[in-house]
Amino acid sequence: MIKNSQAEIQLEQWEELLAQRKEKELIALLEEAPTVEVAEFLAKQAPEVLVKLLSSSTKKESQGAIFADFNEELQAKLYHLISKETFAKIFSYMPSDRRADFYQKLSDKEQTKLLPYLTKKIKEDVITLSAYPPKTAGGIMSTDFATVMSDMVVKQAINKLREDSPSKKMIYYLYVVDANMQMVGFVTLKDLIMAKPEEKVASALHDNFVYADVYEDQESVAQKIEKYDLVAIPVLNEDKQLVGIVSHDDAMDVIRVEQTEDMEKFMGIVPAEEELDYLKTSSFQHFKKRVTWIVGLFVASFLSGLIIHKHKVLLEQLTVLALYVPMINDSGGNAGSQAATVVIRALSLEQITLRNWLRIILKEAKVAFLLALCLFFLAFLKVAILSSNTEIENHSLYTLAFTIALALSLQVIISTLIGSSLPLLIKCFKGDPAVAASPAITTIVDITGMLIYFTMAIVMLF
């Protein structure tokens, strides 16, 4: 049995066997253990030991699966360490989607070197899969599935399944195709088990099925898998021929990537075309992803700068006003970003739609009012304490404190309303609500903040 603590005991046992050079025993144990744990264990060993242990395994299929679980760096290192002939065998047994990913990352020269060692079937499979753009159904699909013909009887279908022997859980659906590989439906293994051996496959056929187009965006594919609760979704080309499947664990990966992109967008970071690893991305690439918004917002902040400059005379007369500008800006930015976060998440979890806009704005207005009320008292206190020795022409300290606190409250209410309505507006124009980025909201509400602040000061204090 494996669990966190038990996994550690198992690991110690493996390390011990390795130290005692009891390799046969070790290999026997490794063959029984889950791929991911074996891969983790092997990755920690010296490359030479790793290669020896990996190639001694009698199960060719798990060699491929374990290799696929290594990170890119280790894969590249091993690729150069192992002879092309031995590597071709491991390569052939890799899951087809990971295999194509690996192949795509090889240089043209290395690709040409490897190809002669592959069987015709594997060669074709790799080249076909590598041709689809990443981030599409074709780019993430696998070719590891079982097909049957609708005129077969159940017994024949089970025999065909034994032959195709798709790995692991890809066995759950059997795709029913015609002579032209066009998909006509599917049967589940459960259907076959429940049916009589001499019954026709056609009698259990589900011809009302969900599929993905080969060029469909990976996000949309993941959403279909989630919506229809599928273990895997068939992928069809323009001629409705079955060319691959995308499984639920690929969908989970897509959801994780999407999550990162959403958060990046929201923080004003431009997501890269391809998924990038933090450490492997060069500093310059990191810089490029971040500079657009940092500079863009800096330029946009000329506007709030202009407003402050317009009131320079006012500030010279009453320097104390300048001291509270950051407070107004920060609180507005925080309140606006929070409201945007809440609305963006509720949209992406489909808890709200555009039709609810009035209810959302009303609810946010109430929340904003409560926040503004709290901050009013705090700001009044803050000004009264920090500026207690300040001389203010013609006005008492309390009038000043009241003016600033009122401006802050108004700013929090306006910012919350802007922060919550901006994602809705962007969605309304078919954009991605996550683009209503937190830094953008901060910059926008800086402008309203300065307008409110100086207007209030002029009205109340001059």
Binding to a copy of itself (CB under 8 A) within 269-288 occurs at: 269, 277-279, 283-284, 286-287
The single residue among 302, 303, 428, 458 that binds a copy of itself, judged by CB under 8 A, is 302
Q: Are 434 and 294 in contact (CB under 8 A)?
A: no
* Residue from the set 27, 106, 153, 322 that interacts with a copy of itself by CB under 8 A: 322
CA distance 405 to 376: 5
Residue 63 in contact with residue 90, Cβ under 8 Å? yes
Cα–Cα dist 23/278, whole Å: 36
| Residue nearer to a copy of itself on the CB measure, 3 or 430 | 3
- Identify which of residues 71 and 399 has a Cβ nearer to a copy of itself in the complex: 71
Q: How many residues in the shown chain lie near a copy of itself by CB under 8 A?
A: 116
CB 181 within 8 A of CB 238: no
What residue type is assigned to position 82 of the chain?
Answer: I
Q: Should residue 459 be labelled a site residue for a copy of itself when binding is judged by CB under 8 A?
A: no
Question: Which residues lie across from 206 on neighbouring strands?
Answer: 186
Region binding a copy of itself by CB under 8 A among candidate stretches 44-52, 97-105, 124-132, 157-165 = 157-165
Binding piece for a copy of itself, criterion CB under 8 A, among 20-28, 118-126, 147-155, 341-349? 341-349
Distances (CA, A) of 158 to 193, 199, 207, 272: 9, 12, 19, 45
Minimum CB–partner distance for residue 306 and a copy of itself (Å): 7
User: What count of other Cβ atoms lies within 10 Å of the Cβ of residue 202?
Assistant: 16
Structure tokens at 399: 């009038």
Q: Considering only 12-20, 52-60, 118-126, 313-321, which stretch makes contact with a copy of itself by CB under 8 A?
A: 313-321
Output 114 or 327, the one with its CB closest to a copy of itself: 327
73 binds a copy of itself (CB under 8 A): no
Interacting span for a copy of itself (CB under 8 A) from 101-109, 196-204, 396-404, 437-445: 437-445
CA 237 to chain CA centroid, Å, is 26
Work out which of 12, 81, 169, 455 binds a copy of itself, going by CB under 8 A: 169
Among the listed residues 197, 366, 455, 462, the single contact to a copy of itself using CB under 8 A: 366
- Cβ closest to a copy of itself, residue 83 vs residue 283: 283
DSSP classification of residue 181: -
Rule CB under 8 A: say whether 260 interacts with a copy of itself: yes
What are the φ/ψ torsions at residue 239 (nearest 5 degrees)? -90, 15
Which residues in 33-62 contact a copy of itself (CB under 8 A)?
33-34, 36
CB of 384 to a copy of itself, least distance (A): 13
d(CA 347, CA 342): 9
* Near a copy of itself in 116-135, by CB under 8 A: none
Residue 325 near a copy of itself by CB under 8 A: yes
Q: Could you give the CA distance from residue 450 to residue 315 in angstroms, rounded to a whole number? A: 12
Binding a copy of itself (rule: CB under 8 A), the pick from 147, 331, 409, 448 is 331
Q: Establish if 455 lies at the interface with a copy of itself (CB under 8 A).
A: no
Rank residues 114 and 191 by Cβ distance to a copy of itself and give the closer one. 191
Positive/negative CA dihedral, 324, 327, 330, 333: negative
* Residues numbered 170-229 forming contacts with a copy of itself, rule: CB under 8 A: 171-172, 188-190, 193-194, 207-211, 226-229
Query: Does 367 sit near a copy of itself (CB under 8 A)?
Result: yes
Q: Any idea what the Cα angle at residue 156 is, between residues 153 and 157, rounded to 5°?
A: 85
Query: What residues are paired with 153 via a beta bridge?
Result: 200
Which residue has tokens 């759950």?
A: 172
The full length of the chain comes to 462
